[in-house]
Structure 1
Amino acid sequence: MDNAQLTRKQKDFFDFIIDYKKDHDVWPTYREIADAFNYKSPNSVTQNIQALLKKGYLVKTDDDEYDIHPDYEGNLGLKKTAGIPVRGLIAAGYLQEAVEADLGRITLETLFPNMDDMFALRVSGMSMKDAGIYDGDFVLLMDSDVKDGDIGAVLYNGETSLKRIYSDKDGLRLEPANEEYDDIVIEPDIFEEVRVIGKYIGHVNRTGIHKGIPTKKAS
Protein backbone atom coordinates (compact mmCIF):
# COMPACT_ATOMS: atom_id res chain seq x y z
CA MET A 1 0.00 0.00 0.00
CA ASP A 2 1.62 3.23 -1.15
CA ASN A 3 0.14 5.99 1.00
CA ALA A 4 0.85 9.69 0.67
CA GLN A 5 3.21 11.32 3.13
CA LEU A 6 1.56 13.19 5.99
CA THR A 7 2.34 16.81 6.74
CA ARG A 8 3.76 17.51 10.18
CA LYS A 9 0.40 18.72 11.48
CA GLN A 10 -1.42 15.71 10.04
CA LYS A 11 1.12 13.35 11.63
CA ASP A 12 0.64 15.02 15.03
CA PHE A 13 -3.12 14.66 14.61
CA PHE A 14 -2.82 10.99 13.62
CA ASP A 15 -0.37 10.18 16.44
CA PHE A 16 -2.80 11.71 18.94
CA ILE A 17 -5.58 9.41 17.75
CA ILE A 18 -3.28 6.36 17.83
CA ASP A 19 -2.01 7.13 21.35
CA TYR A 20 -5.48 7.90 22.67
CA LYS A 21 -6.93 4.67 21.29
CA LYS A 22 -4.00 2.70 22.69
CA ASP A 23 -4.57 4.17 26.16
CA HIS A 24 -8.39 4.11 26.23
CA ASP A 25 -9.33 1.47 23.61
CA VAL A 26 -11.77 3.94 22.06
CA TRP A 27 -11.54 6.94 19.75
CA PRO A 28 -11.30 10.42 21.25
CA THR A 29 -14.38 12.59 20.86
CA TYR A 30 -14.37 15.58 18.54
CA ARG A 31 -14.31 17.82 21.62
CA GLU A 32 -11.27 16.04 23.07
CA ILE A 33 -9.41 16.36 19.76
CA ALA A 34 -10.39 20.01 19.40
CA ASP A 35 -9.24 20.76 22.97
CA ALA A 36 -5.93 18.94 22.43
CA PHE A 37 -5.11 21.05 19.36
CA ASN A 38 -6.87 24.26 20.41
CA TYR A 39 -9.24 24.12 17.47
CA LYS A 40 -12.00 26.72 17.65
CA SER A 41 -14.38 24.67 15.52
CA PRO A 42 -15.16 20.93 15.09
CA ASN A 43 -14.80 21.58 11.35
CA SER A 44 -11.01 21.55 11.82
CA VAL A 45 -11.28 18.04 13.24
CA THR A 46 -13.42 16.95 10.29
CA GLN A 47 -10.95 18.40 7.77
CA ASN A 48 -8.05 16.51 9.32
CA ILE A 49 -10.00 13.27 9.41
CA GLN A 50 -10.94 13.68 5.74
CA ALA A 51 -7.27 14.27 4.87
CA LEU A 52 -6.26 11.07 6.68
CA LEU A 53 -9.03 9.16 4.90
CA LYS A 54 -7.86 10.47 1.53
CA LYS A 55 -4.25 9.52 2.24
CA GLY A 56 -5.20 6.03 3.40
CA TYR A 57 -4.32 6.27 7.09
CA LEU A 58 -7.97 5.97 8.16
CA VAL A 59 -10.80 3.88 6.73
CA LYS A 60 -14.59 3.93 6.98
CA THR A 61 -16.22 0.92 8.60
CA ASP A 62 -19.44 -0.83 7.59
CA ASP A 63 -21.18 1.20 10.31
CA ASP A 64 -20.08 4.41 8.59
CA GLU A 65 -17.64 5.11 11.41
CA TYR A 66 -13.92 5.88 11.15
CA ASP A 67 -11.13 3.51 12.08
CA ILE A 68 -7.37 3.23 11.74
CA HIS A 69 -6.15 1.36 8.69
CA PRO A 70 -4.91 -2.14 9.68
CA ASP A 71 -1.40 -1.32 8.41
CA TYR A 72 -1.06 1.27 11.18
CA GLU A 73 -3.07 -0.20 14.05
CA GLY A 74 -0.94 -0.64 17.16
CA ASN A 75 2.13 0.86 15.54
CA LEU A 76 1.87 4.38 16.98
CA GLY A 77 1.03 5.81 13.60
CA LEU A 78 4.28 4.84 11.91
CA LYS A 79 4.76 2.19 9.26
CA LYS A 80 8.08 0.38 9.23
CA THR A 81 8.79 2.08 5.93
CA ALA A 82 7.99 5.56 7.24
CA GLY A 83 11.64 6.29 7.84
CA ILE A 84 15.16 4.89 7.78
CA PRO A 85 16.49 4.24 11.30
CA VAL A 86 19.67 6.10 12.29
CA ARG A 87 21.51 3.56 14.47
CA GLY A 88 24.53 5.53 15.58
CA LEU A 89 27.65 7.43 14.55
CA ILE A 90 30.43 6.43 12.16
CA ALA A 91 33.80 8.12 11.81
CA ALA A 92 34.76 9.61 8.47
CA GLY A 93 38.30 10.48 9.55
CA TYR A 94 40.52 8.37 11.81
CA LEU A 95 39.24 5.08 13.15
CA GLN A 96 37.11 5.59 16.24
CA GLU A 97 35.16 3.40 18.58
CA ALA A 98 31.71 2.56 17.20
CA VAL A 99 28.91 4.54 18.80
CA GLU A 100 25.51 2.88 18.74
CA ALA A 101 22.44 4.94 19.59
CA ASP A 102 18.89 5.51 18.51
CA LEU A 103 19.19 8.82 16.66
CA GLY A 104 15.71 8.79 15.14
CA ARG A 105 14.79 8.26 11.51
CA ILE A 106 15.50 9.84 8.15
CA THR A 107 12.21 10.71 6.47
CA LEU A 108 11.17 12.72 3.43
CA GLU A 109 10.81 15.74 5.73
CA THR A 110 14.47 15.31 6.72
CA LEU A 111 15.49 15.55 3.06
CA PHE A 112 12.91 18.16 2.07
CA PRO A 113 12.09 20.47 5.03
CA ASN A 114 9.57 22.49 2.96
CA MET A 115 7.34 19.54 2.09
CA ASP A 116 4.13 21.53 2.55
CA ASP A 117 5.15 23.64 -0.48
CA MET A 118 6.01 20.66 -2.68
CA PHE A 119 4.05 18.58 -5.14
CA ALA A 120 4.88 15.79 -7.59
CA LEU A 121 4.15 15.01 -11.23
CA ARG A 122 4.79 11.74 -13.03
CA VAL A 123 7.05 11.95 -16.07
CA SER A 124 5.84 10.75 -19.46
CA GLY A 125 8.62 10.58 -22.05
CA MET A 126 12.41 10.49 -22.23
CA SER A 127 13.38 14.06 -23.12
CA MET A 128 15.19 14.53 -19.76
CA LYS A 129 17.03 11.21 -19.59
CA ASP A 130 20.50 12.78 -19.68
CA ALA A 131 19.58 14.61 -16.49
CA GLY A 132 18.78 11.25 -14.93
CA ILE A 133 15.01 11.71 -15.21
CA TYR A 134 13.25 8.87 -17.00
CA ASP A 135 9.79 7.92 -18.18
CA GLY A 136 7.68 6.89 -15.17
CA ASP A 137 9.75 8.80 -12.59
CA PHE A 138 8.04 11.17 -10.18
CA VAL A 139 9.51 14.69 -10.28
CA LEU A 140 9.33 16.76 -7.10
CA LEU A 141 8.46 20.39 -7.75
CA MET A 142 8.16 23.54 -5.70
CA ASP A 143 6.38 26.80 -6.44
CA SER A 144 9.43 29.07 -6.39
CA ASP A 145 11.50 31.25 -8.70
CA VAL A 146 13.23 29.48 -11.58
CA LYS A 147 16.65 30.79 -12.60
CA ASP A 148 18.19 30.48 -16.06
CA GLY A 149 19.21 26.88 -16.60
CA ASP A 150 16.99 25.45 -13.88
CA ILE A 151 14.73 22.53 -14.68
CA GLY A 152 11.08 23.37 -14.34
CA ALA A 153 7.58 22.30 -15.30
CA VAL A 154 5.99 24.65 -17.83
CA LEU A 155 2.34 25.01 -18.82
CA TYR A 156 1.87 26.37 -22.33
CA ASN A 157 -1.23 26.39 -24.49
CA GLY A 158 -2.85 23.73 -22.30
CA GLU A 159 0.17 21.41 -22.50
CA THR A 160 2.93 20.73 -19.99
CA SER A 161 6.61 20.02 -20.40
CA LEU A 162 9.59 19.38 -18.13
CA LYS A 163 12.69 21.12 -19.50
CA ARG A 164 15.62 23.37 -18.66
CA ILE A 165 14.32 26.91 -18.89
CA TYR A 166 16.19 29.84 -20.44
CA SER A 167 14.78 33.32 -20.85
CA ASP A 168 16.12 36.36 -22.74
CA LYS A 169 14.96 39.17 -25.01
CA ASP A 170 14.26 36.67 -27.80
CA GLY A 171 11.76 34.76 -25.69
CA LEU A 172 11.74 31.54 -23.76
CA ARG A 173 13.77 28.47 -24.68
CA LEU A 174 12.91 25.06 -23.25
CA GLU A 175 15.92 22.78 -23.57
CA PRO A 176 15.64 18.98 -23.32
CA ALA A 177 18.33 16.75 -21.83
CA ASN A 178 18.28 14.33 -24.75
CA GLU A 179 19.83 15.07 -28.14
CA GLU A 180 16.98 13.26 -29.88
CA TYR A 181 14.65 16.09 -28.93
CA ASP A 182 14.72 19.68 -30.20
CA ASP A 183 14.51 22.85 -28.15
CA ILE A 184 11.10 24.44 -27.80
CA VAL A 185 11.27 28.19 -28.51
CA ILE A 186 8.44 30.45 -27.43
CA GLU A 187 8.31 33.90 -29.03
CA PRO A 188 7.86 37.11 -27.01
CA ASP A 189 4.36 37.89 -28.32
CA ILE A 190 3.01 34.69 -26.77
CA PHE A 191 5.38 34.64 -23.83
CA GLU A 192 2.68 35.75 -21.40
CA GLU A 193 0.68 32.62 -22.15
CA VAL A 194 3.41 30.50 -20.56
CA ARG A 195 3.33 29.66 -16.87
CA VAL A 196 6.09 27.95 -14.89
CA ILE A 197 4.15 25.72 -12.52
CA GLY A 198 7.06 24.40 -10.48
CA LYS A 199 10.80 24.32 -10.04
CA TYR A 200 12.41 20.88 -10.10
CA ILE A 201 14.04 19.99 -6.77
CA GLY A 202 14.40 16.24 -7.16
CA HIS A 203 12.83 13.04 -8.39
CA VAL A 204 11.82 9.63 -7.12
CA ASN A 205 12.04 6.25 -8.83
CA ARG A 206 12.75 2.64 -7.95
CA THR A 207 16.42 3.40 -7.33
CA GLY A 208 15.56 5.89 -4.60
CA ILE A 209 15.15 9.60 -3.91
CA HIS A 210 17.35 11.94 -5.95
CA LYS A 211 17.69 15.55 -4.93
CA GLY A 212 18.08 18.40 -7.44
CA ILE A 213 20.99 18.36 -9.85
CA PRO A 214 23.26 21.40 -10.39
CA THR A 215 22.09 24.18 -12.68
CA LYS A 216 23.52 24.01 -16.19
CA LYS A 217 24.87 27.28 -17.54
CA ALA A 218 23.73 28.55 -20.92
CA SER A 219 26.29 27.93 -23.64
Structure 2
Amino acid sequence: MDSLTPKQKQFYDSLISFFRRHQRLPSHREAADINGLQSKNSSLQYHQALEEKGYLERDESGNYRFTSAVDIWPGSDEAGTSIPVLGEITAGAMQEAVQADLGEITFSHLFPNVENVFALRVKGMSMSGLDISDGDYVLLSKTELRNGDVGAVLYNGETTLKKVHKEKDRIRLKPANPEFDDLVIEPDEAEEVQTLGKYLGHINQHGLFKSPY
Protein backbone atom coordinates (compact mmCIF):
# COMPACT_ATOMS: atom_id res chain seq x y z
CA MET A 1 0.00 0.00 0.00
CA ASP A 2 1.40 3.38 -1.05
CA SER A 3 1.62 6.27 1.40
CA LEU A 4 -1.07 8.94 1.37
CA THR A 5 -0.72 12.68 1.03
CA PRO A 6 -1.85 14.68 4.10
CA LYS A 7 -5.17 15.58 2.40
CA GLN A 8 -5.74 11.99 1.30
CA LYS A 9 -5.02 10.78 4.83
CA GLN A 10 -7.51 13.29 6.25
CA PHE A 11 -10.16 12.14 3.76
CA TYR A 12 -9.41 8.48 4.48
CA ASP A 13 -9.66 9.03 8.25
CA SER A 14 -13.08 10.65 7.72
CA LEU A 15 -14.26 7.49 5.92
CA ILE A 16 -13.11 5.33 8.82
CA SER A 17 -14.78 7.59 11.39
CA PHE A 18 -18.06 7.56 9.43
CA PHE A 19 -17.94 3.79 8.97
CA ARG A 20 -17.43 3.15 12.67
CA ARG A 21 -20.52 5.22 13.46
CA HIS A 22 -22.83 3.95 10.72
CA GLN A 23 -21.34 0.59 9.60
CA ARG A 24 -21.21 1.81 6.00
CA LEU A 25 -19.14 4.11 3.87
CA PRO A 26 -20.57 7.59 3.22
CA SER A 27 -22.02 8.52 -0.15
CA HIS A 28 -19.95 10.87 -2.30
CA ARG A 29 -22.21 13.75 -1.23
CA GLU A 30 -21.83 12.84 2.46
CA ALA A 31 -18.05 12.48 2.10
CA ALA A 32 -17.88 15.83 0.34
CA ASP A 33 -19.89 17.54 3.07
CA ILE A 34 -17.84 15.97 5.86
CA ASN A 35 -14.59 17.15 4.29
CA GLY A 36 -15.78 20.57 3.13
CA LEU A 37 -15.50 19.70 -0.56
CA GLN A 38 -17.54 21.65 -3.10
CA SER A 39 -18.74 18.75 -5.22
CA LYS A 40 -19.32 15.01 -5.32
CA ASN A 41 -16.75 14.87 -8.10
CA SER A 42 -14.01 15.91 -5.65
CA SER A 43 -15.04 13.05 -3.38
CA LEU A 44 -14.92 10.66 -6.33
CA GLN A 45 -11.37 11.76 -7.11
CA TYR A 46 -10.27 11.04 -3.54
CA HIS A 47 -11.94 7.62 -3.69
CA GLN A 48 -10.13 6.82 -6.93
CA ALA A 49 -6.80 7.87 -5.41
CA LEU A 50 -7.41 5.64 -2.37
CA GLU A 51 -8.32 2.77 -4.68
CA GLU A 52 -5.11 3.21 -6.68
CA LYS A 53 -3.06 3.16 -3.47
CA GLY A 54 -4.75 0.02 -2.14
CA TYR A 55 -6.91 1.46 0.64
CA LEU A 56 -10.25 0.99 -1.12
CA GLU A 57 -11.62 -1.47 -3.65
CA ARG A 58 -14.90 -1.97 -5.49
CA ASP A 59 -17.33 -4.83 -5.05
CA GLU A 60 -19.30 -6.60 -7.78
CA SER A 61 -21.76 -3.71 -7.91
CA GLY A 62 -19.07 -1.11 -8.27
CA ASN A 63 -19.48 0.23 -4.74
CA TYR A 64 -16.40 1.16 -2.75
CA ARG A 65 -15.35 -0.77 0.34
CA PHE A 66 -12.23 -1.04 2.48
CA THR A 67 -9.66 -3.55 1.27
CA SER A 68 -8.97 -6.70 3.27
CA ALA A 69 -5.54 -5.26 4.13
CA VAL A 70 -7.19 -2.49 6.15
CA ASP A 71 -8.41 -3.09 9.71
CA ILE A 72 -11.00 -0.43 10.52
CA TRP A 73 -12.41 -1.86 13.76
CA PRO A 74 -11.89 -0.27 17.18
CA GLY A 75 -8.55 -1.16 18.71
CA SER A 76 -6.66 -1.30 15.42
CA ASP A 77 -4.10 1.32 14.46
CA GLU A 78 -6.39 2.73 11.79
CA ALA A 79 -9.45 2.86 14.02
CA GLY A 80 -7.84 4.86 16.81
CA THR A 81 -8.71 4.50 20.47
CA SER A 82 -12.41 5.28 20.68
CA ILE A 83 -15.70 3.39 20.32
CA PRO A 84 -18.77 5.10 18.79
CA VAL A 85 -21.93 5.50 20.90
CA LEU A 86 -24.74 4.90 18.38
CA GLY A 87 -27.80 5.53 20.54
CA GLU A 88 -29.59 4.48 23.72
CA ILE A 89 -31.12 1.20 24.85
CA THR A 90 -33.65 0.73 27.64
CA ALA A 91 -33.01 -1.56 30.57
CA GLY A 92 -36.67 -1.31 31.63
CA ALA A 93 -39.80 -1.31 29.49
CA MET A 94 -39.43 -1.79 25.74
CA GLN A 95 -39.15 1.37 23.69
CA GLU A 96 -38.70 2.37 20.08
CA ALA A 97 -35.16 2.00 18.77
CA VAL A 98 -33.65 5.36 17.88
CA GLN A 99 -30.20 5.68 16.36
CA ALA A 100 -28.22 8.77 17.27
CA ASP A 101 -24.65 9.96 17.34
CA LEU A 102 -23.89 10.34 21.04
CA GLY A 103 -20.15 10.73 20.70
CA GLU A 104 -17.47 8.20 21.55
CA ILE A 105 -16.12 6.21 24.48
CA THR A 106 -12.38 6.58 24.79
CA PHE A 107 -9.81 4.64 26.77
CA SER A 108 -9.84 7.39 29.38
CA HIS A 109 -13.54 6.67 30.03
CA LEU A 110 -12.68 3.07 30.85
CA PHE A 111 -9.63 3.89 32.95
CA PRO A 112 -9.39 7.25 34.77
CA ASN A 113 -5.85 8.64 34.98
CA VAL A 114 -5.05 6.75 31.79
CA GLU A 115 -1.70 8.54 31.57
CA ASN A 116 -0.52 6.27 34.42
CA VAL A 117 -1.64 3.04 32.71
CA PHE A 118 0.75 0.62 31.00
CA ALA A 119 0.61 -3.00 29.85
CA LEU A 120 2.71 -6.11 30.32
CA ARG A 121 2.42 -9.41 28.51
CA VAL A 122 1.74 -12.39 30.78
CA LYS A 123 3.99 -15.44 30.77
CA GLY A 124 2.65 -18.41 32.70
CA MET A 125 -0.63 -19.56 34.28
CA SER A 126 -0.30 -18.70 37.97
CA MET A 127 -3.17 -16.17 37.75
CA SER A 128 -5.62 -18.34 35.83
CA GLY A 129 -8.12 -18.09 38.68
CA LEU A 130 -8.73 -14.52 37.49
CA ASP A 131 -8.99 -15.77 33.89
CA ILE A 132 -5.54 -14.31 33.17
CA SER A 133 -3.73 -16.70 30.87
CA ASP A 134 -0.36 -17.03 29.21
CA GLY A 135 -0.11 -14.52 26.37
CA ASP A 136 -2.72 -12.10 27.76
CA TYR A 137 -1.87 -8.45 28.30
CA VAL A 138 -2.44 -7.07 31.80
CA LEU A 139 -3.20 -3.39 32.27
CA LEU A 140 -1.48 -1.85 35.26
CA SER A 141 -1.64 1.53 36.97
CA LYS A 142 1.42 3.18 38.46
CA THR A 143 -0.05 3.34 41.96
CA GLU A 144 0.79 1.79 45.31
CA LEU A 145 -0.76 -1.55 46.25
CA ARG A 146 -3.09 -1.98 49.21
CA ASN A 147 -3.19 -5.21 51.14
CA GLY A 148 -4.86 -7.87 48.99
CA ASP A 149 -4.50 -5.99 45.69
CA VAL A 150 -3.35 -7.79 42.57
CA GLY A 151 -0.30 -6.20 41.07
CA ALA A 152 3.07 -6.53 39.43
CA VAL A 153 6.10 -6.45 41.70
CA LEU A 154 9.84 -6.60 41.23
CA TYR A 155 11.85 -8.73 43.63
CA ASN A 156 15.41 -10.01 43.45
CA GLY A 157 15.69 -8.84 39.84
CA GLU A 158 12.57 -10.74 38.75
CA THR A 159 8.97 -9.66 38.12
CA THR A 160 5.72 -11.42 38.93
CA LEU A 161 1.97 -10.77 38.93
CA LYS A 162 0.34 -11.86 42.19
CA LYS A 163 -2.05 -10.93 44.96
CA VAL A 164 0.03 -9.02 47.48
CA HIS A 165 -0.69 -9.67 51.16
CA LYS A 166 1.21 -7.86 53.91
CA GLU A 167 1.56 -10.04 57.03
CA LYS A 168 3.21 -8.12 59.88
CA ASP A 169 6.73 -7.49 58.54
CA ARG A 170 6.69 -10.01 55.73
CA ILE A 171 4.98 -10.08 52.34
CA ARG A 172 3.08 -12.99 50.80
CA LEU A 173 2.74 -13.10 47.02
CA LYS A 174 -0.27 -15.31 46.38
CA PRO A 175 -1.14 -16.82 42.96
CA ALA A 176 -4.72 -17.25 41.74
CA ASN A 177 -4.07 -20.85 40.76
CA PRO A 178 -3.94 -23.60 43.46
CA GLU A 179 -1.30 -25.48 41.49
CA PHE A 180 1.22 -22.75 42.31
CA ASP A 181 2.76 -22.09 45.73
CA ASP A 182 2.76 -18.80 47.60
CA LEU A 183 5.99 -16.84 47.65
CA VAL A 184 6.75 -15.56 51.14
CA ILE A 185 9.26 -12.76 51.51
CA GLU A 186 10.68 -12.50 55.02
CA PRO A 187 11.10 -9.20 56.91
CA ASP A 188 14.79 -8.79 56.17
CA GLU A 189 14.04 -8.85 52.43
CA ALA A 190 10.57 -7.25 52.34
CA GLU A 191 12.00 -3.78 51.73
CA GLU A 192 13.52 -5.07 48.49
CA VAL A 193 10.06 -5.63 46.96
CA GLN A 194 9.27 -2.86 44.48
CA THR A 195 5.73 -2.17 43.25
CA LEU A 196 5.47 -1.82 39.46
CA GLY A 197 1.73 -1.36 39.10
CA LYS A 198 -1.75 -2.28 40.28
CA TYR A 199 -3.81 -4.65 38.15
CA LEU A 200 -6.69 -2.86 36.38
CA GLY A 201 -7.73 -5.50 33.86
CA HIS A 202 -6.47 -7.60 30.99
CA ILE A 203 -6.86 -7.96 27.25
CA ASN A 204 -6.89 -11.10 25.15
CA GLN A 205 -8.46 -12.34 21.92
CA HIS A 206 -11.88 -12.35 23.58
CA GLY A 207 -11.81 -8.67 24.55
CA LEU A 208 -11.15 -6.35 27.47
CA PHE A 209 -11.81 -7.47 31.06
CA LYS A 210 -11.69 -5.07 34.01
CA SER A 211 -10.53 -6.05 37.47
CA PRO A 212 -13.34 -7.12 39.84
CA TYR A 213 -11.44 -5.54 42.74
Q: TM-score, normalized by length of structure 1?
A: 0.61
Q: Is the 8 A contact 2:169 2:190 kept in 1?
A: no
1:2-81 map, 5 Å: 79-80=78-79
Residue aligning to 1:159:
158
Uncovered stretches (5+) of structure 2, i.e. residues with no partner: 1-5, 12-69, 72-76
Residue aligning to 1:88:
87
Q: Distance in 2 between matches of 1:206 and 1:119?
A: 18
Secondary structure, in 3 states, of the residue corresponding to 2:199? Answer: strand
Residue aligning to 1:39:
none
- How far did 1:81 drift? 5.7
- How far did 1:182 drift? 0.2
Q: Is the 8 A contact 2:120 2:139 kept in 1?
A: yes
Residue aligning to 1:143:
142
Q: Distance in 2 between matches of 1:84 and 1:118?
A: 19
Task: Work out whether 1:110 is the aligned partner of 2:87.
Answer: no
Residue aligning to 1:41:
none
Residue aligning to 1:100:
99
- How far did 1:176 drift? 0.3
Which range moves more in the overlay, 160-169 or 78-87? 78-87
- How far did 1:212 drift? 1.0
- Equivalent AA in structure 2 for residue 201 of structure 1: L
Secondary structure, in 3 states, of the residue corresponding to 1:110? Answer: helix
- Equivalent AA in structure 2 for residue 158 of structure 1: G
Q: Distance in 2 between matches of 1:80 and 1:190?
A: 47
Q: Distance in 2 between matches of 1:180 and 1:90?
A: 43
Task: Work out whether 1:122 is the aligned partner of 2:130.
Answer: no
Q: CA 1:100–1:133 in structure 2 vs 1: closer, same or farther (change >3 Å)?
A: same
Uncovered stretches (5+) of structure 1, i.e. residues with no partner: 1-17, 24-70, 73-77, 215-219
Secondary structure, in 3 states, of the residue corresponding to 1:178? Answer: coil
Identity %, equivalent residues: 53
Secondary structure, in 3 states, of the residue corresponding to 1:204? Answer: strand
Q: Is the 8 A contact 2:144 2:198 kept in 1?
A: yes
Aligned CA RMSD, in angstroms, stands at 2.5
Secondary structure, in 3 states, of the residue corresponding to 2:164? Answer: strand
Residue aligning to 1:172:
171
- Equivalent AA in structure 2 for residue 168 of structure 1: E
Q: CA 1:148–1:22 in structure 2 vs 1: closer, same or farther (change >3 Å)?
A: closer
Q: Distance in 2 between matches of 1:80 and 1:118?
A: 20
Secondary structure, in 3 states, of the residue corresponding to 1:144? Answer: coil
Residue aligning to 2:131:
132
Deviation digits for residues 94-143 of structure 1, max 9, x if unmatched? 11222210112223222113211111110000000011110001110111
Bigger radius of gyration:
2
Which range moves more in the overlay, 200-209 or 89-98? 89-98
Q: CA 1:185–1:22 in structure 2 vs 1: closer, same or farther (change >3 Å)?
A: closer
Q: CA 1:22–1:129 in structure 2 vs 1: closer, same or farther (change >3 Å)?
A: closer
